Amino acid sequence: MLAKTMAFIKQNSRILIVDDTPANVFLLEQLLKISGYTHIVTLTDSREVVATYQTFKPDLLLLDLKMPYLDGFDILNQLNALENDDYLSVIVITAQSDKENRLKSLELGARDFIGKPFDHAEVIMRVTNLLEIRLLHNATKQNNRLLEERVAERTREIENIQLELVNKLLIAAEFRDDDTGNHIIRIGQYAAVLGQLAGLSASHCQRLTPAAMMHDIGKIGIPDGILLKPGPLTAAEMAIMKTHTQKGADILTGSAGAVLQLGEVIALSHHEKWDGSGYPAGLAADAIPLEGRITAICDVFDALLSVRPYKPAWTMVNTLDLMTREAGHHFDPELLGLFLDNVDRFIKIRTDCN
């Protein structure tokens, strides 16, 4: 097993030698070739190191400290500035045995030292040891990457199952006052578009779609006599209706999934108003979560245009007129401006999903 590992290291390792003295470069190169290493690049001009390092991608750098133009410390600083998360394998070549230079080299990422004049056995042993460490580092890194991918995949599977169950529950709840269930689908699509217009990342908008669909999940806990009442609610009935925000948050709370966590925020905050007159907490302006402000605009737009037990559908003209007048009162004025400037996109969603 050890012999196979050594053979693999010698056949696959890339070594870069940097020393301004050609004789030293030649000697090190020959020592390595005699020992079976074949992928070797040498430099005597320190100004070429970084470019060569980036293209050759060596597994090991043999680096002289005392050189013209850029010394070994300069090179180490430049390599560290590349922001490479890889294991930087550097053996410093130096005749300077003082403690200060060695400590400074170690602080900048050097892993070992080779003294001048070179001892063949010592050079090969130190090179081999460091390459073995790099091999182990790469194997560990690869295993960690595979593990992270498996965990991420399993997490996605769990979240997808959660979302599927929640979506079934949402559609069942929506059938109580919307015989198509399309309202929640449109809300998710509206929210993603408005989120994009507001500058949210693509991944955030992707989570926002299902999360916004959960905005009214708390209506599951509202009695039919109130939810389906074909007329104005009494003050007592309205108080019960308003509890759907907290009920929705309670249903979604405690999840480890990012989508359900966002759904909890939206369920609780989508009836808050910019001027602080909303519920359940009377939040105002930027104290209202952005996703709640986005969903509020989308929800009112779609609800006004839809038939409900307590009202007929509004016209598009009347709907947009009311929403315009509510800028700075019900709605975040900046978000509403983005919505109205791009209203054709939202109208298309409603037309396509009706």
- The predicted model gives 319-331 an average pLDDT of 97
Q: What is the CATH number of the domain that holds 34?
A: 3.40.50.2300
Mean pLDDT to the nearest integer, 223-234: 88
pLDDT tens for residues 113-129? 888 888 888 888 888 88
Q: Where are the alpha helices (H) located in the chain, listed in sequence order?
A: 2-12, 22-34, 49-56, 72-80, 99-107, 120-174, 182-197, 202-213, 224-227, 235-242, 244-252, 258-269, 290-305, 316-325, 333-341, 343-352
Q: Are residues 228 and 133 in the same domain?
A: no
* Residue 70 located in a structural domain: yes
Lowest mean pLDDT among 19-23, 32-36, 114-118, 264-268: 114-118
254: left (phi over 0), alpha (psi -120 to 50) or beta: left
Q: Regarding predicted confidence, which is higher, 35 or 279?
A: 279
Q: Is the pLDDT of residue 178 over 60?
A: no
Rounded to the nearest angstrom, the gap between the alpha carbon of residue 158 and the centroid of all alpha carbons in its chain is 18
User: At 84, is the pLDDT very low, low, confident or very high (cuts 50, 70, 90)?
Assistant: low
Q: What angle do CA 203, 276, 294 make, to 5 degrees?
A: 20
Considering the domain architecture, whether residues 168 and 307 belong to the same structural domain is answered as: yes
Where among 145, 172, 205 does a domain terminate?
145
Residues 323 and 190 in one domain: yes
Task: Report whether pLDDT(179) > 60.
Answer: no
DSSP state of 285: G
Same domain, 181 and 324: yes
Examine the domain organization and report whether 233 and 332 are in the same domain.
Answer: yes
Whether 87 is covered by a domain: the verdict is yes
- Please report, for the domain that includes residue 325, its CATH number: 1.10.3210.10
Domain housing 8: 2-145
Residue 8 confidence class, pLDDT cut points 50, 70, 90: confident
Query: Residues 281, 211: one domain?
Result: yes
Residues 162 and 107 in one domain: no
Same domain (yes/no): 92, 174? no
Whether 54 is covered by a domain: the verdict is yes
Amino acid 323: pLDDT: 97
Among 116, 145, 174, residue at a domain's last position: 145
182 lies in the same domain as 123: no
Instruction: Write out the two tokens for 251.
Output: 């249903």
Give the chain's domain count.
2
Whether residue 99 has pLDDT greater than 50: yes
Question: Which range, 149-153, 166-170, 237-241, is most confident?
Answer: 237-241
The whole-chain average pLDDT of the chain stands at: 88
Per-residue confidence (pLDDT) for residue 175, from 0 to 100: 65
Last residue within a domain, chosen from 145, 174, 202 = 145
Is the pLDDT at 153 greater than 90? The verdict is no
pLDDT of residue 173: 66
Same domain, 163 and 131: no
- The answer to whether residue 6 sits within a structural domain is yes
CA–CA separation, 221 vs 223, rounded Å? 7
Are both 224 and 262 inside the same structural domain? yes
Residue 187 has pLDDT above 90, yes or no: yes
Q: Please count the CA atoms within 13 angstroms of the CA of 182 that sit on its side-chain side.
A: 12
Cα–Cα distance for residue pair 91/110, rounded to 1 Å = 6
pLDDT tens-place string over residues 30-60: 999 998 898 999 999 999 999 999 999 999 9
* 309 within domain boundaries: yes
Q: What's the average model confidence in pLDDT over 187-192?
A: 95
Residue 151, in any domain of the structure:
no
pLDDT value for 180: 45
Q: For residues 138 and 164, state if they share a domain.
A: no
pLDDT at residue number 174: 65
Report yes or no on 268 lying in a domain.
Answer: yes
Tokens 């999840």 sit at which residue?
255
- Of 51-55, 98-102, 318-322, give the range with the top mean pLDDT: 318-322
Mean per-residue pLDDT for 320-341? 97
Give the global pTM. 0.60
